[in-house]
Amino acid sequence: MLGIVLCGGQSLRMGTDKGLLSHQDKLWAKVAADKLISLNLPVKFSVNPLQQPTYAHYFDDQQLISDNPSLDVRGPLLGMLSAHLSDTEEDLFLLACDILLMESRLLEKLIHSAKADDSFDAYIFTKDGQQEPLCGIYKSEGLKKIIFMLQNNALVKHSMKYILGNLRVSEIAVKEHDYRYFLNFNSHAEINGL
């Protein structure tokens, strides 16, 4: 399994690259990577082509997966499928760089869930009944299904929730006292006081 830190978003509301913001003297991308590394996973960073040169200043070029230009999709799906195409046999553990407060103990729950029953394509959390697709395990077999759908013009939407609707998904309900760990930060106002 490969840990993938999703950094390739446009960061429009933040106005600056979120993965390169600093929290407690660490880049957001590195904060997310360290959580995945704590699970003994090798980690790579999903970036868009414009970010590649900048991220190469902070991370080894071998750790960067740039969006695959052959894929006609956008958003997190582009990052996920680009990572999949870089090694189609690896399962992926996705973590968006802006889910800043995530705790390793919660990530471990996903790992345990996947080990306990490997019959699903994806393992994610739900918060208040809503799926949390940007922190989850996506099996290579499930990702191959999505690529097949894309190649056959059967992928009518590119949202992560639509993708999950086409996979066999194991869901873990988040307890209310853990909701805060799933906050994603999109603006300067939201990160004030962190």
Rounded CA-CA distance 189/138 in Å is 32
According to DSSP, the residues that pair with 2 across neighbouring strands are: 92
Which domains does the chain carry?
2-189 (3.90.550.10)
This prediction has a pTM of 0.93
More confident site: 11 or 54: 54
Q: What is the pLDDT of residues 27-50, one digit of tens each?
A: 999 999 999 999 999 999 999 999
Is the pLDDT score of 189 beyond 70?
A: no
Spatial distance between the Cα atoms of 33 and 11, rounded to a whole number of angstroms? 19
CA angle 169, 179, 115 (to 5 degrees): 35
